[in-house]
Structure 1
């Protein structure tokens, strides 16, 4: 039996589609596990009338202890954080000096999750300074820390499963190609 040009073209079309699907899978898999912001305190864009004593950024993935940075600047661009950055599972917290200038404050952060993907960005909040500035008394606040995604076994199982499927498709296509070329 002879292979016609139409049959060869059809086989090539299938190979192209499978190749594109495989490449798309490998591109999409890392993006699916990317870290992103869950919450900030103060909230991005918020106006606060009481000077916060700290600023926090909370992500989806547990943070590593090293290599992280966070900076808070006042409306004139001067740093107002105390330079002490604390990591608590998925949150990074930096203390603040007493805020005295009303205006827009900028928080810039670069945080590294256990997945190795950096979480970088900035947000702003507005401080509406009262006429008389007093240091607020610390009050205990109950917070719930989101459960950290320590293991991405579901993603890993999906990727491994797709690799196994891709392997079997490759084997079947090679057997099909061998059959076609043998019948020439």
Structure 2
């Protein structure tokens, strides 16, 4: 091999190594790890929130830049718009679901030094046949009658109190005697 070919080969190897090792995409782009409700699942209980978890920590300071929307089968938004970020996960509150069908969740979440985690998934909601609000009704309570005290209990407590006073006086007289003998 000539010097020029050797230098060209070394430069090519170093350049290839640099592209492979220093490429930010090869370092691990933020990808979707899990969702709640699970993507493609069928649920029968209305969720209170939708959670999306990625591989990299999300930027909690960029709340306005992070977007999660939940739409019902009619295309109306059913999320309340309040997004909370907790390390790897982002959640949005969901209003009570009432329509049966496929719900579509779209998201765009920012993580430090990486492109946004963008995507969408859907889940199916089976609404109960009859949704009736449960009104709390007061239950009548029976007032308890005060426990009656017996005369013997009162006498016993008074005798104990009297005995405690006698013991206290006796101990103080004994302590006085001990200190006066010294």
After the TM superposition, which parts of structure 1 deviate over 4 Å for at least 4 consecutive aligned residues? Answer: none
| C-alpha deviation, 1:46, in angstroms | 0.5
| C-alpha deviation, 1:50, in angstroms | 1.0
| C-alpha deviation, 1:30, in angstroms | 3.9
Distance 1:135 1:91, change over 3 A: farther
CA distance in structure 2 between the partners assigned to 1:18 and 1:9 by the alignment: 14
Partner of 2:84: 86
- With normalisation by structure 1, the TM-score equals 0.63
CA distance in structure 1 between the partners assigned to 2:133 and 2:121 by the alignment: 24
Alpha-carbon displacement from aligned partner over 1:67-105 (angstroms, at most 9, x marks no partner): 111000011111011111111222111111111111110
Matched position secondary structure for 1:14: helix
Higher relative contact order (CA 8 A, sep 6+): 1
Larger radius of gyration: 2
CA distance in structure 2 between the partners assigned to 1:124 and 1:99 by the alignment: 14
Distance 1:113 1:52, change over 3 A: same
Aligned-residue CA RMSD in angstroms? 2.2
Matched position secondary structure for 1:31: coil
Distance 1:115 1:8, change over 3 A: closer
Q: Which runs of 5+ in 1 are unaligned?
A: 137-184
- With normalisation by structure 2, the TM-score equals 0.64
